[in-house]
Structure 1
């Protein structure tokens, strides 16, 4: 064994085996499954990866890879091998040997390690140099994870060290400058008058830099500064730093290279040179993304891109890097440090200014005043959801009760007459239970259909007269509706109470508009998440108390009260009434108007006898697509939500109390996810992306419930549904407000809520019919497929523009 001998391994990412779709899919499967590369919830990401990325993306990626395939291999693989071989020829000390390895291609790090173990005279030290100049978690840290995985089960472990970055080395900077100046001179000799040079770096999510304090952005700037200040063939003010290679809908480091090129060409800077200091070997991101696709983008705008290759296996670069490697392995600290350029404090002035604008936290704290307003209206929404959901666990027994005590009621007969017209339902038939499901669907539709009509009216009215008077009047009206329900001994009074509460429950659009009034673009998702928690708690308290309080039957305790219309469900109604009265008083005394007088009446909304005029497309990009996506999502979700208690009662013999437990489980998960994760992460991850993740997670939930014949499987499906819906609701609501001017928030959110109410009309009806026709599993299978529609719609949403806030 040679004392002091060091094996140096140059590690690159790698490439697919070939441009075949199957090989590209295998490459992407391994690459994108790395939690360092995609650092979101691993369970949700695997669902997205296997259901939506791997079935479709490999075909497109294979087309791109085929453009850089030479028939035998890819440039990254051959260049890395050639680079290693040339560096080896420039080494002067027998105490240093070099090899190359790939994280996702052959030879892998494990193969290099195997060769080291078999060497009869092995090195005693191992130095790993990831060939990514700047440090980033998604590259260097990912490589370190791979290295740790290789040696965790090994017995023989050498002394290991890692070079985590070389972005300020003289070898890298000086050779990059020589490469750029050489090509700038070449372009000039060809008669090209260059307008600007773009130093384009591979992008990462801005969240990584802001939250995780990844130093990548700083390293990019240091590389940019050192190169720009040393170039001879172009003025420093003509050199711009940009970022390329975005993936997904989350916000990445900006300015984006493609957007910058379009703006520059449109401004008159037609000839642009591009060089990417993120790479030392040409690959898909340089040869195709910059040399082909970016060039095509520029040409479409009337400009042109002049591509500068990476350092690759340039002779001087290989010689200088060999010297750097030997110094790092054999020299003293002073010599090793001399291989790096250092920046002075004054050199960071521009970086500090850029960071203040580029990297400021997207999610800023809510003010105390905003929190107060939001918590007050959250209580309003909470009560609305209590009134809506308190009846959920009661539907089966509610239908049976009125069929027993008020069978000749004209409205009850009308509903069951409608049921009989679409089915062969009879009270004593084998499909009697499914007929009750249809009854419940129609009864639930009454409440939601009135919300559909009322929500935009409440919202538009609040835009004119202010939020507070609308909230006070609507909450007082809800109390009246609940009072009537308390005395609804007849089915007619029950219908009247649901009509009143359905109309007054449309105030949710006004309550949501308050959040838009008191928040900014940066913290609106926090406000909407608090509202989302109110939704969740409404679904906890409503069904829970509906089930618990239904155990108290006043007609048995006070039989004489039946003459006053008291019924077995009067106690849940009394609970909702008390809460509504309290909230009316609370809003009247505590809530401060959130819409200033100068902003009232600015919305160009005209009241009309034709309610549907309020639902014509709004002239704001994104709003209508969000509304349609929300409608499609909630149609599928509300169908599940409604038929859930019937499925549990039919398959698992659940009682009203056991049905209440279902909604308690859903509600607590939603409250936990929205109050914790969504409130803190939505603005950073991106509302659009989080909504997509939520929609995708609903699919396994629906499928699990469709297959559920046991409580554990049912609750597992409910977990996915709760997590998904907790992400979708506040994020889509936030997106609507982002796309809408402040003076139209009430109307816009009102229409959004109305589309949701319409979905709650149609979803339960369609689900009930499907349940009746095709069985209890059918609504969930169909709902899972139907969710593809809102997923596609949300994917097509435009970027949020500042003027829409």
Structure 2
């Protein structure tokens, strides 16, 4: 009877944590995505005023355009320049995410989440008053360094003791992403049009981003409980975890800087193995394999996602509004799948579900690459949205089961870092293939390469069976 009451109380607490994390992350992502539809216009603005820093970076874009054969069109220039800034942002995430996660293992999730949110507020204030491109770029650099909310929120969900709750929490994080990337850009475009000052059209969305982040800061401070458990045992739902006697008091802390910055160390999760009570060798092998699957999937996926704008503009002459409608369709489809299906996937079926989702990406990108009408395009986009809604939440939930209670921040921070590295490199490689070899060959070849994460998943399954 007492155990039933304890389990019920734990379920109630987990549900409350998931709701708070969902709302906090949604506020964060709404502020973050306001800039997305404005980026081409912002870049055009700095180009027209002859900003010297902008012109210097433009020369890099021009070199890349000439090297891979991108046509001399304003639309393509905006996509390439935006991709350059996006890669910079992802590289900063690659550097900062493991450090943020490890710090949260020492000082708690909530203090670090408050600190990174304050940093984001500062980046949005810089954006609001960025009359020069150097200030705008500084705002993106500050934002990239401080954008630790996602990895910290996944660490908070990873702190939950029940695998079922962790799975639901990761799915709800996915829903927050889908809604944020669906609603945020629409709000950004709306508030930019409402501002009368043509030269400072971005100031309205920037101040709205400040308000979202300020609201997020207050909400986290008042509503989010600290989930890091350093002085008490963490028990699984109806299951005893290995080495539970020693998991209660450990803290992975900040290891050698190389463990949190060098790619090889990150792929090996070295910062986790250097603790006094590291996971078993089998668990570490599984964790490394999951990290490799996560990286290869996002490397391929983010590259093809980036080239979608090239394909729809080149083949279907999509306007910015049509592009917005396409991404709205993707976002809503993902939110429905994550809210209705992904969060109900049982922990024991996650790897099988991820494999099924990645398999669906092969026909998805074949349809998109060979689509010459909107019916084929949107059929491919539906399969694409299905996979996008499932793979990352399920892999994150699988990774969240590794490491002791005081290592979760480091584990999830490293995972987030690997994803950021994939998102920094994938678009550069895939867009080069797109323009050098053509859209059809790019999408066909890339879809074939999804066999790589499938093979890795099969090896992971075999490792677990052994």
Distance verdict in 2 for CA 1:655–1:487, change over 3 Å: farther
The answer for the alignment partner of 1:473 in structure 2 is 115
| 1:206-221 mapped onto 2 (5 Å cutoff) | none
Q: Find 1:580's aligned residue among 213, 219, 229.
A: 213
Q: Find 1:612's aligned residue among 230, 243, 261.
A: 261
Q: Find 1:737's aligned residue among 400, 403, 412.
A: 400
The answer for the alignment partner of 1:539 in structure 2 is 181
Q: Find 2:422's aligned residue among 759, 764, 784.
A: 759
Bigger share in strand: 1
Question: Are the equivalent residues in 2 in contact too, given 1:419–1:439 (CA < 8 A)?
Answer: yes
Q: Where does structure 1 differ by over 6 angstroms across 4 or more consecutive aligned residues?
A: none
Distance verdict in 2 for CA 1:676–1:429, change over 3 Å: closer
CA drift at 1:583: 0.3
Q: Is 1:409–2:52 an aligned residue pair? A: yes
CA drift at 1:753: 0.6
Q: Is 1:631–2:280 an aligned residue pair? A: no
Q: Find 2:250's aligned residue among 583, 602, 606.
A: 602
CA drift at 1:605: 4.2
| 1:90-239 mapped onto 2 (5 Å cutoff) | none
Question: Are the equivalent residues in 1 in contact too, given 2:117–2:213 (CA < 8 A)?
Answer: yes
The answer for the alignment partner of 2:166 in structure 1 is 524
CA drift at 1:384: 4.3
Q: Find 1:712's aligned residue among 367, 371, 375.
A: 375
Question: Could you report, residue by residue, the CA deviation over 1:553-572 in whole angstroms, capped at 9, with x for unpaired residues?
Answer: x3xx136xx4xxx2x33333
| 1:441-452 mapped onto 2 (5 Å cutoff) | 441-452=83-94
Question: Are the equivalent residues in 1 in contact too, given 2:304–2:443 (CA < 8 A)?
Answer: yes
- 2:324 & 2:10 partners in 1: Cα distance? 34
- 2:347 & 2:365 partners in 1: Cα distance? 27
The answer for the alignment partner of 1:419 in structure 2 is 61
Question: Are the equivalent residues in 1 in contact too, given 2:18–2:172 (CA < 8 A)?
Answer: yes
The answer for the alignment partner of 1:55 in structure 2 is none
> Runs of 5+ in structure 2 lacking a partner?
1-7, 233-247, 274-283
The answer for the alignment partner of 1:188 in structure 2 is none
TM-score (norm 2): 0.83
CA drift at 1:387: 4.7
Distance verdict in 2 for CA 1:393–1:780, change over 3 Å: farther
Distance verdict in 2 for CA 1:800–1:425, change over 3 Å: closer
The answer for the alignment partner of 2:238 in structure 1 is none
TM-score (norm 1): 0.50
CA drift at 1:617: 1.3
Distance verdict in 2 for CA 1:774–1:578, change over 3 Å: farther
Task: Report SS of the residue matched to 1:729.
Answer: helix
Task: Report SS of the residue matched to 2:406.
Answer: helix
Question: Are the equivalent residues in 1 in contact too, given 2:119–2:146 (CA < 8 A)?
Answer: yes
The answer for the alignment partner of 1:463 in structure 2 is 105
CA drift at 1:715: 2.0
Distance verdict in 2 for CA 1:388–1:778, change over 3 Å: farther
Distance verdict in 2 for CA 1:558–1:397, change over 3 Å: closer
Q: Is 1:558–2:197 an aligned residue pair? A: yes
CA drift at 1:431: 5.5
- 1:698 & 1:366 partners in 2: Cα distance? 37
| 1:291-690 mapped onto 2 (5 Å cutoff) | 367-405=11-49, 407-410=50-53, 412-424=54-66, 430=72, 433-552=75-194, 554=195, 557-558=196-197, 562=199, 566=200, 568-598=201-231, 602-610=250-258, 611-612=260-261, 615=266, 617-618=268-269, 619=273, 620-683=284-347, 686-690=349-353
CA drift at 1:800: 9.3
Question: Are the equivalent residues in 1 in contact too, given 2:37–2:188 (CA < 8 A)?
Answer: yes
Question: Are the equivalent residues in 1 in contact too, given 2:14–2:165 (CA < 8 A)?
Answer: no
- 2:175 & 2:320 partners in 1: Cα distance? 24
Question: Are the equivalent residues in 2 in contact too, given 1:394–1:656 (CA < 8 A)?
Answer: no
- 1:704 & 1:366 partners in 2: Cα distance? 45
Question: Are the equivalent residues in 1 in contact too, given 2:105–2:253 (CA < 8 A)?
Answer: no
| 1:60-99 mapped onto 2 (5 Å cutoff) | none
Question: Are the equivalent residues in 2 in contact too, given 1:547–1:660 (CA < 8 A)?
Answer: no
Aligned residue pair count: 427
Give the RMSD, CA atoms, in angstroms.
Answer: 2.9
Distance verdict in 2 for CA 1:769–1:724, change over 3 Å: same
Distance verdict in 2 for CA 1:382–1:401, change over 3 Å: same
Larger Rg: 1
- 1:609 & 1:390 partners in 2: Cα distance? 34
Question: Could you report, residue by residue, the CA deviation over 1:583-623 in whole angstroms, capped at 9, with x for unpaired residues?
Answer: 00100111111113426872334344444256261342311
Bigger share in helix: 2
Question: Are the equivalent residues in 2 in contact too, given 1:476–1:584 (CA < 8 A)?
Answer: yes
Question: Are the equivalent residues in 2 in contact too, given 1:673–1:723 (CA < 8 A)?
Answer: yes
- 1:380 & 1:752 partners in 2: Cα distance? 21
Distance verdict in 2 for CA 1:736–1:662, change over 3 Å: same
Task: Report SS of the residue matched to 2:362.
Answer: helix
- 2:440 & 2:217 partners in 1: Cα distance? 42
CA drift at 1:780: 2.6
Larger displacement relative to structure 2 (748-757 or 762-771): 762-771
- 1:519 & 1:728 partners in 2: Cα distance? 22
> Runs of 5+ in structure 1 lacking a partner?
1-363
The answer for the alignment partner of 1:750 in structure 2 is 413
CA drift at 1:758: 0.9
The answer for the alignment partner of 2:278 in structure 1 is none
Question: Could you report, residue by residue, the CA deviation over 1:610-668 in whole angstroms, capped at 9, with x for unpaired residues?
Answer: 44256261342311111111111111111222232343333333333322222221111
